[in-house]
């Protein structure tokens, strides 16, 4: 039972970081594959949509391993949520707790605050902006950039690709702008 309690604790950066980092050479060595998640939406659309759309005219079956990878991520997330999640409230800095309370976010018992991410809030202006508009912007941005944060920051940078360095810098700048300038306005709606 003690090992389960140990697994439920957050892993330190010096364990989790190398495990994520070793995924890239493992994929390259074992199957000459690149790490990334966002291309799977294209593969799923190519499998389901008619072939008359030129963007989806390719052999998506060659990339079926990536679909299994995403299914594994989903299953792993469900297993972690139901069996390994920590029931204790998330520990955050008191200044951040005060700032979040000013925006009406006080329930910090789960992975995401239900004051923003819930079915009831989906039909509010704040919820629609956060979940629907934000989701479309992330999806569009990852395809426009030629990959998502994991594809560029983990796989692309390890392969010394300049476009991945530029994309990763833009991801971080966009995240800083969003968190410090745009998000406070959305949360105050």
What are the structure tokens assigned to 5, written together?
């309690």
Q: Are 180 and 187 in contact (CB under 8 A)?
A: no
Q: Are 131 and 120 in contact (CB under 8 A)?
A: no
Each residue's pLDDT, cut to its tens digit, for the chain (189 residues) gives 577 666 667 778 898 888 888 887 888 888 888 777 877 878 888 888 877 788 788 888 888 888 888 899 899 888 887 777 777 777 889 999 999 899 888 988 877 888 888 888 889 998 899 889 998 888 888 878 888 887 888 888 888 899 999 999 999 999 999 989 998 999 888
Task: Quote the CA–CA distance of 88 and 110 in Å, as a whole number.
Answer: 9
What are the structure tokens assigned to 26, written together?
């493992």
Domain ranges for the chain: 1-85, 116-189
The secondary structure element, H or E, covering residue 72 is: helix 64-79
């Amino acid at each position: 039972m003690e090992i389960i309690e140990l697994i439920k604790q957050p892993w330190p950066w010096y364990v989790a970081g190398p495990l994520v980092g070793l995924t890239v050479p493992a994929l390259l060595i074992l199957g000459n594959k690149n790490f990334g998640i966002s291309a799977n939406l294209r593969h799923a659309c190519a499998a389901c949509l008619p072939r008359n759309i030129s963007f989806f005219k390719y052999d998506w079956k060659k990339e079926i391993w990536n679909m299994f990878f995403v299914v594994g991520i989903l299953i792993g997330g469900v297993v972690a949520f139901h069996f390994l999640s920590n029931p204790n409230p998330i520990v955050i800095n008191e200044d951040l707790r005060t700032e979040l309370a000013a925006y009406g976010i006080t329930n910090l018992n789960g992975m995401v605050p239900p004051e923003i991410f819930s079915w009831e809030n989906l039909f509010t202006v704040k919820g629609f902006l956060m979940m629907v508009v934000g989701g479309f912007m992330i999806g569009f941005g990852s395809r426009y950039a030629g990959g998502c944060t994991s594809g560029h920051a983990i796989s692309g940078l390890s392969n010394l690709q300049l476009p991945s360095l530029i994309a990763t810098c833009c991801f971080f700048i966009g995240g800083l702008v969003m968190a410090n300038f745009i998000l406070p306005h959305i949360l105050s709606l």
